[in-house]
Structure 1
Amino acid sequence: MAPRWLSSLRKFFMKRRGRTRVAHYDITDSDEDDAGCPSGARTPPTEKHAHTDWGHRAHRASARTSYIDVPISPNKRQRRRAASTPPSSLPSLVEDCACDYDLPPLPADIDYLYHQMEQLEAEYKGPRKRTAGDRPILQWAAEAEAFLAELLRLEGRGDYNTPFCHCGAHGPLFRCEDCHDVRLHCQQCILGAHDAHPLHRLRRWDFDHFTRVTLKSLGHVVQLGHEPGETCVNPRVPWGDDFVLVDLSGVHELTVRYCGCESAIQHHLQLLRARWYPATSTNPKTAATFQVLESFHLLSVQSKVSAFEYYSTLSRRTENTNVDTPKDRYPAFLAMAREWRHLKMMKRAGRGNAPEGIAGTQAGACAVECPACPQPGKNMPTDPVEAQSWLQRLCIAIDANFRLKRKKVSSDAVDPSLNKGTAYIVEEHAYKAHLMKHDTLQHGDTSDHCNNHDAVKLATLKGAVGLAASGVASVDCARHEVKRPCSTGDLQKGERYVNIDYLVHSSLQQNAPTDVLASYDIACHFDRKLATRWWEYGFENNHNIQWAIPKFHINAHREPCRAAYNLRYLPFSARDDGEGIERIWSRLNAAAASTREMGPGSRRDTLDDIFAHHNWLKVCYLPATLLKRIKKAVVQRNEQATAFAQYTASLPADATARWRAAVEAWEADGSQPNPFLIKRPTITQAAIKRQLAEEDANALKAGTAEVMHEKCSASGMLIAAIELEETQRRLKKEAASLAVHATDIQRARAIEHQNALHRRVHAWTDIQQLYMPGVAAQRQRLLAAAEDASQPFNIPLLLPSATVGSASSTPALMDIEWRLRYAQALDALSDLRGHLELRTHLYKFKDRFARGQRANTRAQTVVNQAQAKIDADAARYRAAYAALCALAVPLGKIGWASHLAPLQTSDIRHVTEGEEGETEGRRTMSWIWKASSSAPSDPSDGTGAPIDTSLQESLRVEWCKARARAARWTEEVELLLEEMRRTIVYHTWRAGMWHDVVNQVHEGRPDYLEGANAYARRQAAVRVAMRDFCAVTWRHVHQWVFLGLDATEDDLDAVAAPQVEEEASAAE
């Protein structure tokens, strides 16, 4: 349990509205300060307190700070001061940052803070009273009439109701809707006032109301190539003289004149210098302002609005009655917006400052990189030993998204990509060449070591009818949810290995470190033949990849995979959950509606742009994100380490020593026995059948076997009976599922199955008569009393469990059936759990990816198939359990019911589901997940002695899990500190990169050179500001990390990584 002061200090970090905050400063007085005091009358020591009063008003908050000298109480307890600098075992976050900060870290005083916490909690009287300012809508509702009246007043002339202009002219008067001046002007005055504002919207007063007019209709001319007000001696008229400009205020028709002077530049360059983007470079007659392109660019990546919706909004803002609609420039706007995206991406990537220009852009060079991820040559340590630490391991996540699909429209020849693999989506030609070459290779893992995740993926659900891409797959940064460069590509036929292999390899080629932690929801299948597949592709594999399964998806896997690929258990995985890529998709899926209608090149460029915006937001919010994580991680580290130490102290030392050696051996070598798995002998029907066959063979060799039939032994007869029983249940369900209007083929098939079963049952009863004489008469009596005895699935087999007490049920036969039934029950429970996991995953997959009637129908069909298997498993278990109950008393079996129980309908639920009506805090797990296919004790032995061994196994697994929890939180703290250091170093490197490109281009053209250099220096200043902001935000992190470390030092030593211990000793 965490110390009391730690929880209080954590509350101190959470800002509370309405509380008084007190900051404590140590003031060290020099000798000169007391020089004027008489001898023996030295001033008592004081403390300087900064007292801040917060005042809240309806429209703003104010603060007043005063400094007070407070005498130190003689009875105040001595306070321990933490070291002003953190221990040298962990590097400083800002040691690589050569700059001064205005807010240096203050020494932490734990006792003083705790004392202040007690005072604040005592003074806190609860939340303040609500005022009208807290609910402004209520106040406004009472004044709505006044607001409405003012809006209507603006429809008239207001105070300017004279028929004369302020210049004295008489005639039509005009008002500008966009100027701050609301007076009415004559035509000459309004034109003179808008020489530099050609896009303002005008209204003319027509006796009793305003009507819309344009500056063009009043004779306004926009002269390009000259300063406002200047006249060109050789103006050039655009072709058709119907120039259209798209702006934030609407779609405008203007009278534009190009400069035709001798020194004039090309027409499209004149537009660009006026901050108007031309739709074409040849005779441009359509343009868009930089402001509207910037606005749409930001809206499209932030809210995922489509170009059509945005342009329609501009058109309606121009004319909203459809009477005099503006000229349609939507196709031109599409082209301009796409070109703008591309130019902005190249500009931000520094291609305009590089001598090679756009043509020399390398793959992935335009991607916004993650500053916190390890990147060789940019933010990783230069020391080779430190560079090989687990802290420099890259964490990636792999997943597919079947919502970002694309219809079969256009082609790469008509609509090529402008980015061409320079950002996030791989270069299309190389990607398609790889798919075409290796498309026929079959690399799927057909082994049954885990659940059939190809069925879970529902690959056939994403039918390619009418689709050029059924979705996308991506490899992203798992720790910070950032898209990696050259790591996303289209899918054609579901989530195939040939696609994922290419994307993983492409991502790792983008400046990735040697060690990689990769999470994938089917990693247990995917990594089995990875080396073989990459060898066939010709890929080089210079990386050490540790595979894991995301924490949410791992419940759909079998127990061995849940232990071997679990991020909770894998060493040095910190608190990575592997599900970050799923959260990325949730933010990007809003773009699916517009991108699925695009051509191939437009879609790739648009997704690149959306990914870049997503990454930039992640980079901007990284200081707050990492700070929030480490505030939580430090508390959890201390709590988990303390809990682990207490648990260890309660166990025998020799046992924990053995367990520690076992878990460390597994962490060092994954081929060693997994300590997170309970080691018990597994009981299955196949194993029992093998044991019975071996016993029959031994009896035949020894001559002690009772041979009743030349081909079938007693155990063989009972094994066949259980198989027949399963067939009876299946055919009975098949017959019940036949509808009234079933076809003749369906009925014929069912009858054939029943006839085959009837012949098998008849043959089996002849053999049963040899081992169980007298059972035939009992069967005849039961058939005579039955209503529908003609059906073969209704014929009672009468195994020993059904004839207990009769002469035909011998102890030997009952013991054989007991063993078979016990294994059958465990097998049924194991299958039931697996099918419940499958059904849960299918439901979630259906909710995420199935859209439309066809896809939902197919998905529901697969869900129904899984449900049918669940029902069959439940019926098989109930039959086995009933037989065990009948056989337990005559055989004297005890202890078996401690892990097997009657199966109710409410028990058949997933491990994450509670009973109906249960809340999350009261959720209980069904008993079927506590039962195991391994026997906790031998059911044939009533002593229960092996239960102690089972308890030891359970204690060992729980101890390993407690150790893993403490270790993961400790690793999380260390990794977060390293990520903060890497972020600051990366911003420094990026600023230096921008400084290096100064004076690299446009030699001999001073105006272009000045612009390029100004942009590079501005970008460098942005990175420096981001670096400094990170350093200031994290200035107290080291003190927070080491607060309370003494209280859990022994616990942390028990779970500390060997590398960390070596680094600490080396630092000392």
Structure 2
Amino acid sequence: MYGDALMRREGRGPWWSNGCVACGEANPAWRCEDCFGGQMICSSCITERHFAEPLHFLQEWQDGYFQGRTLRDLGLRYQVGHFRGEDCPFVHLTPRANGFVVLHDNGIHVIDIDFCGCPGSPSEVEQLINIGWYPATSTDPSTAASLSLLRRFHCLNLQARVPAYDFYNTLVILRDGAGLNKPPNRLQQFMNMIREYRHCQMCKRAGRLHDPTGIAGTEPGELCIVCRACPHPGINLPEGWEDAPPEIAWIYRLLVSKDANFKMKGRDRSTRERDPTLGPGWAYMVANDLYLKHLSKYVAEDEISHCVSFAALWTANNKRAKGLRASGVGSVSCSRHELFRPLGTGDLQKGERYCNMDYLFFSSLIGVTLLSIVSSYDIACQWGRNFWERAKKMPSHMKLSESIEVLFKVPKFHLPPHIKKCHGPYSFNYTRGVGRTDGEGVERNWSWLNWAARFISVMGPGAREDTIDDLCGFSNWKKTVDMGNALLRKMVLAIPKAMIHSRAFYAFSEGLREGHESDLLVWEKAVRAWEVDSELENPYEYPEVEAESMADVMSRISSEDHARVARDGAAAVLVKPAAFLLAGLEIEEQQAAVLLAAKRKAMTTIQATELQRRRTLLLGKVSALRDIQETYMPGLRQWITQQHPLPPPANNAKPETIKIYLPSSIPAAARNSVCIAGLAGHEDSLRNAQASEALRDLRSGLRTRTFAHQFKRKHTAGQGMWTKSRTLLDGIEDRIRSAAERYRAARAGLMALRGAGVWEQQFRVLGKDDIRGMNERLMNDQEKEDARKARLLAGLAADDDEAAVDAYGEAVELTVLFNLETGEGNRLLSWIWYTTTGSGDVAADGSLHPDIRVEWTKARARADRWREELILVDEEMRRVLVFCRWKAQWWTERVALRPSASPELAEGLRAYALEQAARETAWAIQWHGKWSAVELEEDDDEFTNDPVEEEEDIF
């Protein structure tokens, strides 16, 4: 159906027999491709209809098919500067033998036009722009592009990433797909018009056309779209902000990130004389002349040294550097909102040098009068050295006041490869007043710019800088438009996270308080002292464990395994009630261990023999327990016979399945008639101790597993060493599993004996997700997907069924060692670390294990950063609304800046300024409505209290 309908349009359609749709003349032969309906019309009517539509393409029915025609073929001349159909009595003719070329949305047109030559008439350029055509030159123009085309390309270039070359050739094939009637080549003119149009749009949107000094009076960086959520004194900061006390002054701090991008290369094409920059230093790219003048003092300077293991820093920098004017670009953006800073972007000539990065950093801060700045840089540990000495060598207009505090940090993703001593001092996670900033925003900006690297690299110097300015501006504009949603998302995430981590830290501290309050006070003082002086011992750093201790770990595990296997029953020993219960608990533990061993999927002969031997020993212990059980549970036999249905008979072949009746196995109503007095109370005490010891052993096993994995990854090489380490890790996993099962059994016994109660706050339900080391977490879905892709790339099955279960057939929840930086702020410590009773967590001098101290300090930092994030986002919302109101007023004041303008120009200036002011007001109203439900109240103590003061209250 669709195909037939399309084919019918290749003919004259159903109405041609009715004659011309305008005058009724028989057998009309013309139709317009761009007019609505595609109806047939005669030659005189189609000429009449298109006096005001010179950019339509026509078709004539000839030789049995439609053939392309133009209005020029009909002899039409378009009169510019007069109403439709009105000829100019003083027509101004400029010899254009080949016609006037116009680039429009539907293709490339060649038409004949007449300019108005009336006295006082506008120039040819103004006449063309008045009708919406942008001329390619200001002198005797013979080529123009419609403003709608330029705007369409501008949007497609920025949003859909369509290069100018491809777009222009699309216009060519729209009319000449067969290549038989190519239009005049206007590619270069199109490139020039695009550059000029972009530049004029930037000046217009920055209000330069409202200023009496015009475009020529533009100040450095004035064409930038600034971040309205960042602090701007005199615009969106309250009066007296500079006198704010230290506990809240951090909310007025500027956070910036900088980095180098070596994909944004620039080839040595053309010269600046032939291809100048239209707005040198007016937007994001620094003014080239001043920049090169500064760099000329450091011709022989080497690249910045580093302590990281990213090979890109010394290989990609100079890769294929021959024939390049620029090996890349450096840039500075705000860390929290990722907008490019004014005058913060510039070319790199040879790698990443201090002279380049210093100049861009200080240039991006021209005019900043804040008291504190946090600078993020992937090699900040080196760049921060001698910073103020280098600052003194900057040009006078770029020097930063030494009263400004500058903190140097490394982005979270880039920090782990640094040497260990960099981790604490340069970490965002442990820096007060930065919230959940990660410092990686400039890297995300590279992902936006890199798509354009291919065609930008072949541009001349001026076109390259103008294009980068335009791309940076569009990126900033998109983020400004999305500011309402972006800050809302941050606040919606921060509110529950702040609550969760604050409460988790409080619970952790409460669990440690009893018996260890002095430890907490020592840790708190150590953290605060380190925040003042990072040269002190890092409280967030796990203590180093020497490699020799690995042998100690193996020896201890081997000794415990030997003792467990060699241990025999106590049948011949006269037992007391407590000893009877201990024997019962021991049998339960051994039953669980044998049950686990029996689940092994593939047993060797030795393993099968060992399992049988353990069953034999276990059966003897069960029989011995039965012999003495009647002494302490005299009513047990009678109670069992009264059960409906009866319990299954004992299976001596599998003694691990035989029910061991202890007081907790008997319902509370029958317990007194079955057991001697006080027996249930004895079991309650033993179960409580069993749960505490099991948690202690579980924590000890998890600490050992973390260390063993770190040791294996660092020191194990070769098949033999790997096999030995695998055996060790299997043994550790068995200990962890055993401790978990003992805890669950102990908790089940306590539940039966006590019922629900406050004791459950200490001994919670232990799930699989809870069995995690301090530096471990479950693998997330993305990591599982990455592992699946890695298996495919390695030629293996995408899903490893064998890896999904362990040797005992149980599901495996994959864990990963938690990185020091990446994702640290989202980690929640398992509840098992909140209760630290038990000798395994306490050193000989009574202090807690160092790992507990590290986790406490990290939990403290997580709670602090999320509370800060809440306060920062709330402050940023306030700044944005204040900025919108200020900007609306700013645009309103533009209206009267050019009183001498003609009435038509004055009206246009006024209309544009009022439109911008209305948009700013609309943003403020819309965003305030979005944020009103999540804005913090001034008396919201849970979130707005200063973290330090709140911590003081805890202690």
| TM-score, normalisation: structure 2 | 0.67
What is the CA distance between 1:534 and its match in structure 2? Answer: 2.1
Gaps of 5+ in 2: 550-705, 729-782, 792-799, 805-810, 821-839
Change (3 A) 1:155 1:924: same
Letter in 1 for 2:506: A
Letter in 1 for 2:410: I
Match of 2:859 in 1: 962
Letter in 2 for 1:655: D
1:220 to 55, 69, 76: 76
2:532 to 668, 676, 683: 668
Q: Is the 8 A contact 1:550 1:566 kept in 2?
A: yes
1:176 to 18, 26, 32: 32
What is the CA distance between 1:376 and its match in structure 2? Answer: 1.5
What is the CA distance between 1:1038 and its match in structure 2? Answer: 2.7
The reply on whether 1:558 has 2:419 as its aligned counterpart is: yes
The reply on whether 1:430 has 2:293 as its aligned counterpart is: no
What is the CA distance between 1:349 and its match in structure 2? Answer: 0.7
Further displaced range: 157-166 or 181-190: 157-166
Tell me the alpha carbon deviations over residues 978-998 of structure 1, each in whole angstroms, 9 at most, x when there is no partner. Answer: 000000011111111111121
What is the CA distance between 1:596 and its match in structure 2? Answer: 0.5
Match of 2:478 in 1: 617
The reply on whether 1:393 has 2:257 as its aligned counterpart is: no
2:442 to 563, 569, 581: 581
Change (3 A) 1:376 1:187: same
Letter in 2 for 1:1020: A
What is the CA distance between 1:541 and its match in structure 2? Answer: 2.8
**Corresponding residue SS for 2:24:** coil
Letter in 1 for 2:54: P
Match of 1:412 in 2: 272
What is the CA distance between 1:340 and its match in structure 2? Answer: 0.3
Q: Is the 8 A contact 1:439 1:498 kept in 2?
A: no
Match of 1:721 in 2: none
Q: Answer 1 or 2: higher relative contact order, Cα 8 Å, separation at least 6.
A: 1
Change (3 A) 1:928 1:287: closer
What is the CA distance between 1:514 and its match in structure 2? Answer: 2.7
Distance 2:522 2:441 in 1: 36
Match of 2:468 in 1: 607
What is the CA distance between 1:537 and its match in structure 2? Answer: 4.0
**Corresponding residue SS for 1:564:** coil
Distance 2:377 2:917 in 1: 37
What is the CA distance between 1:1031 and its match in structure 2? Answer: 1.0
**Corresponding residue SS for 2:13:** coil
Distance 1:682 1:1053 in 2: 44
Tell me the alpha carbon deviations over residues 597-619 of structure 1, each in whole angstroms, 9 at most, x when there is no partner. Answer: 10001000001001111110000
Q: Is the 8 A contact 1:397 1:476 kept in 2?
A: yes
Letter in 1 for 2:528: E
Distance 2:889 2:883 in 1: 10
**Corresponding residue SS for 1:553:** coil
The reply on whether 1:540 has 2:399 as its aligned counterpart is: yes
**Corresponding residue SS for 1:601:** helix
1:281 to 120, 138, 141: 138
Tell me the alpha carbon deviations over residues 561-615 of structure 1, each in whole angstroms, 9 at most, x when there is no partner. Answer: 1111111111111001111111111122111111011000100000100111111
What is the CA distance between 1:927 and its match in structure 2? Answer: 12
Match of 1:860 in 2: none
What is the CA distance between 1:951 and its match in structure 2? Answer: 5.5
1:402 to 249, 255, 262: 262
The reply on whether 1:973 has 2:870 as its aligned counterpart is: yes
Q: How does 1:1029-1048 map to 2 (within 5 A)?
A: 1029-1038=926-935
What is the CA distance between 1:491 and its match in structure 2? Answer: 1.0
What is the CA distance between 1:262 and its match in structure 2? Answer: 2.2
Q: Is the 8 A contact 2:267 2:325 kept in 1?
A: yes
The reply on whether 1:311 has 2:175 as its aligned counterpart is: no
Match of 2:214 in 1: 357
What is the CA distance between 1:153 and its match in structure 2? Answer: 1.9
What is the CA distance between 1:265 and its match in structure 2? Answer: 2.2
Q: Is the 8 A contact 2:309 2:417 kept in 1?
A: no
**Corresponding residue SS for 2:156:** helix
1:1025 to 922, 926, 937: 922
Change (3 A) 1:928 1:445: closer
What is the CA distance between 1:1032 and its match in structure 2? Answer: 1.3
Q: How does 1:836-847 map to 2 (within 5 A)?
A: none
Tell me the alpha carbon deviations over residues 863-922 of structure 1, each in whole angstroms, 9 at most, x when there is no partner. Answer: xxxxxxx99x9479969x99xx9xxxxxxxxxxxxxxxxxxxxxxxx9999897679994
Change (3 A) 1:634 1:266: same
The reply on whether 1:982 has 2:841 as its aligned counterpart is: no
Q: Is the 8 A contact 2:841 2:849 kept in 1?
A: no
**Corresponding residue SS for 2:416:** helix
The reply on whether 1:149 has 2:4 as its aligned counterpart is: yes
Change (3 A) 1:683 1:169: closer
Q: Is the 8 A contact 1:406 1:470 kept in 2?
A: yes
Tell me the alpha carbon deviations over residues 667-724 of structure 1, each in whole angstroms, 9 at most, x when there is no partner. Answer: 2343443221245697999xxxxxxxxxxxxxxxxxxxxxxxxxxxxxxxxxxxxxxx
Distance 1:429 1:592 in 2: 23
What is the CA distance between 1:478 and its match in structure 2? Answer: 1.1
Match of 2:49 in 1: 193
Gaps of 5+ in 1: 1-145, 686-828, 837-869, 886-909, 930-942, 1063-1068
**Corresponding residue SS for 1:613:** helix
**Corresponding residue SS for 1:458:** helix
What is the CA distance between 1:221 and its match in structure 2? Answer: 1.4
What is the CA distance between 1:209 and its match in structure 2? Answer: 2.1
Match of 1:481 in 2: 338
Change (3 A) 1:433 1:684: farther
Letter in 2 for 1:983: V
Q: Is the 8 A contact 1:311 1:330 kept in 2?
A: yes
Change (3 A) 1:928 1:354: closer
What is the CA distance between 1:216 and its match in structure 2? Answer: 1.0
Tell me the alpha carbon deviations over residues 822-845 of structure 1, each in whole angstroms, 9 at most, x when there is no partner. Answer: xxxxxxx99x98999xxxxxxxxx
**Corresponding residue SS for 1:237:** coil
Q: Is the 8 A contact 1:486 1:510 kept in 2?
A: no
Distance 2:130 2:161 in 1: 29
Distance 1:245 1:427 in 2: 34
Q: Is the 8 A contact 1:560 1:677 kept in 2?
A: no
Match of 2:502 in 1: 641
Match of 1:269 in 2: 126
2:226 to 357, 369, 372: 369
Change (3 A) 1:443 1:288: closer
What is the CA distance between 1:181 and its match in structure 2? Answer: 3.7
Distance 2:280 2:477 in 1: 21
Match of 2:765 in 1: none
Change (3 A) 1:684 1:431: farther
Q: Is the 8 A contact 1:662 1:675 kept in 2?
A: yes
What is the CA distance between 1:1019 and its match in structure 2? Answer: 1.1
Distance 2:946 2:19 in 1: 87
2:189 to 328, 332, 336: 332
Further displaced range: 566-575 or 673-682: 673-682
Q: Is the 8 A contact 2:235 2:883 kept in 1?
A: yes
What is the CA distance between 1:928 and its match in structure 2? Answer: 13
What is the CA distance between 1:462 and its match in structure 2? Answer: 2.7
**Corresponding residue SS for 1:204:** strand
Letter in 1 for 2:375: A
Change (3 A) 1:187 1:510: farther
Change (3 A) 1:926 1:381: closer
The reply on whether 1:462 has 2:319 as its aligned counterpart is: yes
What is the CA distance between 1:529 and its match in structure 2? Answer: 2.1
Q: Is the 8 A contact 1:469 1:490 kept in 2?
A: yes
